[in-house]
């Protein structure tokens, strides 16, 4: 059993009634590779984690599947997330895409399947990798599919009927793009996974999602370093290094990471921090409710210093997927094209 989160929920239940553990383990290793993923997941499961967050694009489905099988924990007791790769946004590719993920995971279904970003890429050789421009090494965007993401969602809905995905949701969708999904959806997204931490609290997105019973799951809940190609504000310190976070941690006898995670869960947001360190994994499960005044201190940080996003793909893809004023991409070519 997962250790109790003192005075905080162990699980959240979105609009489809399916229970999602409040604390999960993120598995994206970025530029560090996947050599330690299997052992990290086995360690996490042994400590009580029951929520494993993966994606086809992470390239570690086999490691996740092997760790789950070797853990000896019944499949139905583990909540597994995967994500639709951006080269497979064409509705004709959907079942093949999920089948490939399930094959890697050695599973018959995933508990949650997310559209991995709203924009789509052209596929490269053998339809397995992203096609890149020979001139500048940038990914080749499929502008048509990037604008037709509501149709991508409609195809995802069929995966629920097949039983291969118990819940479906969105990854890094803003309010504008989510509204377009809701206009055509027969199945309301159960989840939006987004970058959320004390420097980027996303109060508006959280409030909007709550109106529709959509659970927010925070990736990069401690800040985090995405791969260099899509890294925003690379020289800025993490929230865990903020003196006010450190002061709150000292007063509560917690680590700065525990403060950031407790703050999120206290808001009703699930978290999927990454770690391969046994002690950090253990600490990330041991969360406590922050006193109201200290919660407010953490909650005000983004107002005092301004919001800070550590994931910034704009320079890499040529448009801003987080633009709330225009549904980007607007043009049919890259600025450098």
Residue 136: the pLDDT is 76
pLDDT at 2: 46
The Cα–Cα gap between 308 and 267 comes to 19
Q: Count other Cβ atoms within 10 Å, centred on residue 310.
A: 22
**CATH H-level superfamily of 11-317:** NADP-dependent oxidoreductase domain (3.20.20.100)
Kindly list the averaged pLDDT for each block of 10 residues, start to end, along the chain of length 337.
66 98 89 77 97 93 96 97 94 88 97 96 79 80 96 95 97 98 98 98 98 98 82 87 98 98 98 95 97 98 94 92 97 81
CB neighbour list of residue 216: distance below 8 Å, 6 or more residues apart: 191, 192, 193, 194, 196, 202, 205, 206, 209, 268, 269, 270
* 108 carries an active-site annotation: no
**Measured distance CA(306)–CA(44) in Å, rounded:** 34
The pTM score is 0.95
- Paired strand residues for 168: 113
Confidence at residue 224, expressed as pLDDT on a 0 to 100 scale: 79
DSSP count for the chain of H helices, then E strands: 13, 10
Catalytic-labelled residue, pool 32, 49, 58, 108: 58
Polymer length in residues for the chain: 337
Bridge partner list, 193? 171, 217
Cα separation, 44 vs 34, whole angstroms: 15
Q: Which residue has the tokens 């370093």?
A: 225
- The radius of gyration of the chain's CA atoms, rounded to the nearest angstrom, is 19
DSSP class of 42: H
Spatial CA neighbour of 323 closest among 118, 122, 154: 118
Alpha helices in 51-174 (DSSP H): 61-71, 94-105, 143-147, 149-162
> Which candidate, 254, 256, 246, places its Cα nearest to that of 286?
254
What pLDDT is stored for residue 127 in this prediction?
Answer: 66
Q: Which helix (H) or strand (E) holds 244?
A: helix 243-252
Residue 113 has what pLDDT?
Answer: 98
Helix axes 94-105, 61-71, angle to 10 degrees: 50
From CA 86, how far away is CA 296, in angstroms rounded? Answer: 38
Q: With contact defined as beta carbons under 8 Å apart, do 11 and 51 qualify?
A: no
Question: Residue 65: its pLDDT value, please?
Answer: 96
State how far the Cα of 39 lies from the Cα of 146, in Å rounded to an integer: 36
Domain spans, the chain: 11-317
In tens, the pLDDT along 118-172 reads 999 998 776 678 888 766 778 899 999 999 999 999 999 999 999 999 999 999 9
> What span, in angstroms and rounded, lies between the C-alpha atoms of 97 and 256?
39
Residue 231 to residues 75, 200, 218, 227, 249, Cα–Cα distance (Å)? 35, 15, 17, 6, 27
| Per-residue model confidence (pLDDT) at position 330 | 95
Contact 260, 240 (CB under 8 A): yes
């Amino acid at each position: 059993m997962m250790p109790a989160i003192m005075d905080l929920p162990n699980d959240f239940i979105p609009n489809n009634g399916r229970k999602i553990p409040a604390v999960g383990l993120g598995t994206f290793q970025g530029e560090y590779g996947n050599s330690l993923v299997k052992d990290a997941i086995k360690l996490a499961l042994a400590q009580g984690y029951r929520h494993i967050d993966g994606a086809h694009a992470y390239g570690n489905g086999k490691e996740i599947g092997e760790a789950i099988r070797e853990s000896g924990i019944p499949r139905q007791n583990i909540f597994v997330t995967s994500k639709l790769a951006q080269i497979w946004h064409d509705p004709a590719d959907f079942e093949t895409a999920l089948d490939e993920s399930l094959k890697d995971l050695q599973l018959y279904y995933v508990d949650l399947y997310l559209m991995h970003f709203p924009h789509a890429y052209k596929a490269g050789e053998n339809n397995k990798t992203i096609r890149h421009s020979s001139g500048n090494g940038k990914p080749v965007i499929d502008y048509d599919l990037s604008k037709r993401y509501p149709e991508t969602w409609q195809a995802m809905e069929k995966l629920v009927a097949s039983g291969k995905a118990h819940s479906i949701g969105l990854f890094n969708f803003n309010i504008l793009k989510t509204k377009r999904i809701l206009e055509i959806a027969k199945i309301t997204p159960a989840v939006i996974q987004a970058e959320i931490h004390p420097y980027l609290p996303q109060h508006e997105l959280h409030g909007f999602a709550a109106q529709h019973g959509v659970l927010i799951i925070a990736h990069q809940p401690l800040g985090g370093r995405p791969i260099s190609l899509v890294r925003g504000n690379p020289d800025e310190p993490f929230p865990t290094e903020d003196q006010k976070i450190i002061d709150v941690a000292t007063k509560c006898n917690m680590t700065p990471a525990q403060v950031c995670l407790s703050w999120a869960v206290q808001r009703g947001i699930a978290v999927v921090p990454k770690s391969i360190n046994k002690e950090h994994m253990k600490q990330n499960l041991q969360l406590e409710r922050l006193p109201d005044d200290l919660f407010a201190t953490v909650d005000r940080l983004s107002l005092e210093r301004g919001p800070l996003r550590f994931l910034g793909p704009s320079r890499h893809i040529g448009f801003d997927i987080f633009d709330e004023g225009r549904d980007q991409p607007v043009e049919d070519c890259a600025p450098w094209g």
